[in-house]
Chains A and B, each alone.
Chain A
Amino acid sequence: MKARRTLHALLLCAIVFLFLGAGDTDARFKDLGHRMMCACGCGQILLECNHVGCTYSDKMRDQLQAGLDKGNNDDLILQGFVQEYGPTVIAAPTATGFNRVAWIMPFAALAFGITFVIYVVRSWKDRPTPALADGIVPPFGQQNSELEEFRKRARKETDG
């Protein structure tokens, strides 16, 4: 009974392992295939290249599958492709060396922009209200309190 239960458990583990592996390889194939370009010059992602008679995409997909079947890790597979097809085969800059700049710059620009906008908003808030030019008087001789009433009414009518 115990041996049977152990056998069942082992079988279950084996099936789970097998399916986990299969799903993982499929997902990795899809992931890696979308991280590389087809080398035929069509400018498309490897798994999206649909050129009839493309001499590269089928071969590259087979190479990718072979790499996965061998149990190579992602970096090794990508390196193999870079060696064979050149650095342009990778669809996005790597996070190494000068290529890091490609990733940093957009976020640096956003951070700079946010800082700048906050600076602008603050400086505007601190700025005194522009004075009226000489000779211009508030119409109807209104005082600030009266104008504030108008403002409130306008806000109430137009807010939202």
Chain B
Amino acid sequence: MSKVGSFALQLALCLSAYSFLAGLLALFRRDAGSARLAETARRAGIATFGAVLLAAIVLVTAAFNDDFSIAYIFHHSNRDLPAAYKFAVLWSGQEGSLLFWSLLLAGYGFVLRLRYKTDQRLFAHASVVIAAVQVFFLLILNFAAHPFAVMQGGLPPDGTGLNPLLQYPEMVIHPPMLYLGYVGFTIPFAFALGALIMKYPGEKWIHITRRWTMVTWCFLTIGVFLGAHWAYAVLGWGGYWGWDPVENASLMPWLTGTAFLHSVMMQEKRGMLKVWNMSLIFATFLLSMLGTFLTRSGVISSVHAFAQSSIGTWFLVFIAITIAVCTYFLILNRSNLKSEHKLESLVSRESSFLFNNLLLLTLCFTILWGTFFPILSDFIQGHKVTVGAPFFNRVAVPVALLLMLLTAVGPLLAWRKTSIESLKRNFLYPAIGALAVGGMMILFGVRPWEDPSYFYATMAAVLSALVIFAVISEFLRGGRVIAGKTNQNLISAMIQLCHRNTRRYGGYIVHFGVALVIIGVLGTPFNKEVEKEMGFGDTVKVGPYTLVCQSFTQDDNPNYGNEWAIINVFRGGKQITTMYPERRFYKASQQPQTLPRIYPSFREDLFLVSDLYLVYEGINETTGRPIIKAHVNPLVPWIWIGLIIMVFGTIVALVPNAVAVTAAATAQIRTPAQVGAGD
């Protein structure tokens, strides 16, 4: 079986190398044969997908067949591993995840090459870039991290099992989502570089890649949040974001990708920021690569990282080559990227995008800087320093708050110029609502002047409220106009409004989701926690809850043995639920794993919902009693609700407009730009 897999990978490498070289040659040749050559390159690119898919199928089949003659399967699976996790073996280790990367890239390339008729020359350029990236990954897979390497010596009876941390349902979804995001940014990158190389006129490449970029961004968003939820639900420390280097690595391309999604509108509408947009999409792709490098090189220690290996050098070389190529063509063809219009006012949508980009990039730089500072410190001072959560919280939070302010203000500004009257009209009610929220927080006992964390929490609440009220007021205002003209009810009118300009209103929904996420985060300073040994009938109070230990028990199955406590939860003298915090011991890997239990208090609190979070920490060897750690984490469920709304907003933005949005005064502009089209 390993031979079939190895052959498939070698074939894929040959095909992608041909696709790259023949495609490149066809682009340079101007004779009659170049079209035929380009077609063979395209078909080789399509066939690459088949070969990589075959390799992936072989690896998954080997996992299901417990083929421990393959070293990768031996190290990441075992006979009693549940089927879903055997499937997840594909991306659970270094080699397999690189194969998965390659598979997704081949899949994206497959779709792109099938749709080549949209613009054959641009697609041919993009196809060559994708083939180059594909060659890089297949070179690693064939020569540095071979997933089909065979075990030396005799055939082992069982594998060492999958890392217990990865044996959680979300782990079957989280990596594919994250990788779909990481890999997906290769497509807009390929189109951008292709357009730059061929001096592609206009913004068509952006229109072609707009949906790709949004879908990719959506996948990355889901991946980042699922990672946070996994950390929350599995790691058992009561938090969801620890500013771990690998978490940071996933956030950086998300930030630049978000900046690109915003600034690209300036290029579409006004023909501005062309060099900037190119640079942003290049940076996003490079940061995706950097993230992959960070998790695999062992250069920075992280609980999420794969084992230390030599493939870091491969990535460094690839990143260096990519930077050199991108910089060369940016400089060479910069004359093609001149801005077509000027900025008319500082109070305009354009300048809000500039500041939005500035803040997103500052956040990205801060995270990059903090992630790499230990290496810099080691180099300069001779010893590493830790750059952990206290640093990131102190530096990133003020910038994030400014960004929230812009999230509220920016969408309500008009293109070109916004009048004072319009500002007043748009912001009066949202501002009153936001200030009322701040006032209520103080009324309910939050003292922002007593502690910086309370100050930030209050500011975050006020700004989130501002975003939410601004979005609602926009929907209401537009809905009322349509309702007045069409005699529909307000809800139908707002749905029609959304449908008329899906990108704009989908974007507002995404902003609404972001505000909910921030509300979820701002509860952190109010967290409560208690740790106690609990025997039968023992009680502990945490926040509004009283926990009573009913019993604790044990169980066993072929994959793991487990013990758990049975905790009755009371609130206001009434039992509201029973929770079963658990600790498992995985037999194959001989590793323990806690499995917290979470109870969100929607039924009791609705808006001010909090999570009751119980962790079974183990048994005190001396007393024989289990140690239970209980957290009350206010507002955290809003983070996950916010994610759902962000995804919904992105889906809305992907729906084509029902009515084309056009504006009247486009005459003087050489490339027609939609004045105040509003998205």
Q: List residues of A whose CB falls within 8 A of some B CB.
A: 34-35, 37, 41-45, 48-50, 52-53, 86-94, 97-99, 102-103, 105-107, 109-110, 113-114, 116-117, 120-121, 124-125, 127-130, 132-133, 136, 138-140, 142, 147, 150-151, 153-155, 157-160
Contacts and interface: CB of A to CB of B under 8 A. Distances in A.
B600 interface: no
A106 B370 CA distance: 9
Contacts of B359: 110
Interface string B614-627: 01011000000000
A94 B254 CA distance: 29
B369 to A, nearest CB: 5
Contacts of B386: 37, 87-93
16 contacts: A34-B390, A37-B388, A88-B383, A91-B386, A93-B377, A93-B391, A102-B387, A105-B369, A109-B365, A116-B358, A124-B339, A125-B345, A147-B668, A150-B667, A153-B665, A158-B663
Interface string B359-373: 101100110011001
A42 B272 CA distance: 47
Most chain A beta carbons < 10 A, residue from B302, B381, B668, B677 = B668
Interface stretch (B12-20, B55-63, B410-418, B570-578): B410-418
7 pairs of A and B residues whose beta carbons are closest in the complex: A158-B676, A150-B665, A124-B343, A92-B391, A91-B388, A52-B618, A92-B390
Contacts of B380: 98
B237 A110 contact: no
A50 B399 contact: no
A43 B665 contact: no
B387 A92 contact: yes
A49 B617 CA distance: 11
A125 B667 contact: no
Given A86-B383, A147-B667, 5 more contacts: A48-B242, A102-B369, A110-B358, A125-B345, A128-B342
Contacts of B346: 121
A87 B362 CA distance: 27
Most chain A Cβ neighbours within 10 Å, of B342, B384, B419? B342
Given A120-B354, A147-B668, A153-B664, A160 B477 contact: yes
B675 A110 contact: no
A50 B677 CA distance: 53
B377 A132 contact: no
A107 B398 CA distance: 10
Contacts of A151: 665, 675
Contacts of B425: 160
A91 B412 CA distance: 40
Nearest to A139: B667
A53 B394 CA distance: 31
Given A102-B370, A106-B362, A158-B663, A45 B388 contact: yes
Contacts of A130: 340-342, 670
B355 interface: yes
Contacts of B244: 43
A52 B385 contact: no
B592 interface: yes
B389 A45 contact: yes
Nearest to B396: A106
Given A114-B358, A125-B344, A154 B391 contact: no
Contact of B395 (A43, A87, A106, A153): A106
A146 B425 CA distance: 28
Contact of A155 (B272, B358, B414): B414
B667 A138 contact: yes
Given A91-B388, A155-B414, A52 B594 contact: yes
B32 interface: no
A157 B663 contact: yes
Contacts, number: 182
A65 to B, nearest CB: 14
B22 to A, nearest CB: 38
Given A92-B391, A106-B365, A154 B675 contact: yes
B125 to A, nearest CB: 26
B239 A48 contact: yes
A155 to B, nearest CB: 6
Contacts of A35: 390
B395 A88 contact: no
A106 B366 contact: yes
B618 A53 contact: yes
B499 to A, nearest CB: 17
Interface string B291-310: 00000000001110000000
Contacts of A86: 383
A86 B346 CA distance: 50
Nearest to B677: A158
B520 interface: no
A120 B351 CA distance: 10
Given A43-B244, A98-B381, A110-B399, A125 B342 contact: yes
B373 A158 contact: no
A42 B390 contact: no
Contacts of B366: 106, 109
A121 B381 CA distance: 40
Contacts of A150: 664-665, 667
Interface in B411-460: 412, 414-419, 422, 425-426
A102 B391 contact: yes
B663 A113 contact: no
B249 to A, nearest CB: 14
B358 A133 contact: no
A160 B355 contact: no
A158 B414 contact: yes
A50 B629 contact: yes
B384 A88 contact: yes
Nearest to A124: B343
B351 A121 contact: yes
B676 A50 contact: no
